[in-house]
Amino acid sequence: MSRRDYIRIDNPFHTIDFHHHTALKSADPADWDAEIAQDYATRTATMDPGGIDEAVLLPGNNLLGGGRVTERDYNEFLARYRFRHADRFPYAFATANPLNGRRALEDMEHAWKTLKLDGFVWHHRMFGVSVNHASMEPLWALAQDLGAPCAVHIFADSRLESPWRLEEVAERYPKIPFLALDGFSSADQCMWMPLIARRHPNIWFDTGALFAAGEMLFQFMKKIDFAPRLFLGTDNYPGLASRFPAALVEVLAMEVSDEVKAGILGGTLKALLARYRPG
């Protein structure tokens, strides 16, 4: 797919996209540079027409089922990817399987202290557990001790990822900065987000899987000034990348100041990740 196939967007802002999933195929580190090169070419072809300058690398969803690629493999792959292309991908988030017990905690320690990755991310339904499952308790406790940001998918219609589950966890772990992903993924769920934001000052919200109708992002900000808690995510998957990053267009079209747009499109996320850095 050539760059000419993508719709070009007039975007004057320095833009950081939080929500970029990857797809590691091999557990052999000898194969990773080739995978990175191929992914980089495809991924930047989706970013450049929209003026997306940087993105945060996340693990993919091919970890479930005991495959050859482990969470530690994925974390090390993302650290190498970030090192190779820090100009476009200066951030990467690690993951850990809550069903792995002590190994999950070791993977988190390794990712934060050794690899210096920028936080942790979970798509809980992909692991077959809920956001507030008992197996997650040691992981949340460790993340709070480390001072690490935690990104959590709350995709609409997934009972394992229902927003109330994240609320429960955020209340128990008030020192963790939670990044709620896919929160605006249905009309009904869009109406929950202002209520959750009001109750939990330690939750920020991305625009991934944005429900397209009703100016939901603008309505979210109008409830109270929640603009400083909102950041761009386009839910980019390799091979499934949209030629039309709807969330970016929605933000650019909103009748708000350039200062607010600049915050949503990069400033908020950059300040948040600078505040919570691995030691």
Q: What is the pLDDT of residue 222?
A: 79
Three-state secondary structure call for residue 17? strand
Q: In what order do the strands lie in the sheet with 178-181?
A: 120-122, 150-153, 178-181, 203-206, 230-231
- Which residues, 6+ apart, have CB-to-CB distance to 83 below 8 Å? none
DSSP, collapsed to helix, strand or coil, labels residue 41 as helix
139-191 pLDDT, tens digit each: 999 999 999 999 999 999 899 999 999 999 999 999 999 999 999 999 999 99
User: pLDDT grade, residue 243 (50/70/90)?
Assistant: low
Residue 274 has pLDDT above 70, yes or no: yes
Report the candidate in 74, 45, 51, 46 with the shortest Cα–Cα distance to residue 62. Answer: 74
**What integer is the mean pLDDT of 107-123?**
98
- 237 pLDDT more than 90: no
Q: According to the model, what pLDDT value does residue 227 have?
A: 82
Query: Are 231 and 205 within 8 A, CB to CB?
Result: yes
Query: Residue 69 corresponds to which tokens in the numbers above?
Result: 């690629």
Average pLDDT for residues 229-253, to the nearest whole number? 85
The encoded tokens of residue 12 equal 């004057």
- The string of pLDDT tens digits covering residues 33-82 is 999 999 999 999 999 999 999 999 999 876 654 468 999 999 999 999 99
| CATH class held by domain 3-275 | alpha beta
Using alpha carbons, select from 43, 53, 46, 55 the residue that is nearest to residue 8.
46
CB burial readout 134-159, b (16+ within 10 A) else e:
eebeebbebbeebebbbbbbbbbebe
- How high is the mean pLDDT of the chain? 92
Do you know the residue count of the chain? 279
Is the pLDDT score of 122 beyond 90?
Answer: yes
**Domain boundaries along the sequence of the chain:** 3-275
In degrees rounded to 5, what are phi and psi of residue 154? -130, 60
User: Is there a contact between 124 and 160 (Cβ–Cβ < 8 Å)?
Assistant: yes
Mean pLDDT of 75-93: 98
Both tokens of 91, joined, read 């951030």
- At 2 the pLDDT is 47
For residue 115, the model assigns a pLDDT of 98
Mean pLDDT of 101-112: 98
For residue 157, how far is the Cα from the chain centroid? 19
Neighbours of 206 (CB within 10 A): 27
| Element spanning 197, H or E | helix 187-199
Position 135 pLDDT exceeds 70:
yes
Position 241 scores a pLDDT of: 52
pLDDT at 83 over 80: yes
- Chain centroid to Cα 232, Å, comes to 9
Query: Which has the closest alpha carbon to 209: 175, 172, 231, 183?
Result: 183
The pLDDT value given to residue 5? 64
pTM for the predicted model, two decimal places? 0.95
Number of helices followed by number of strands (H, E) in the chain? 11, 8
pLDDT more than 90, % of the chain: 81
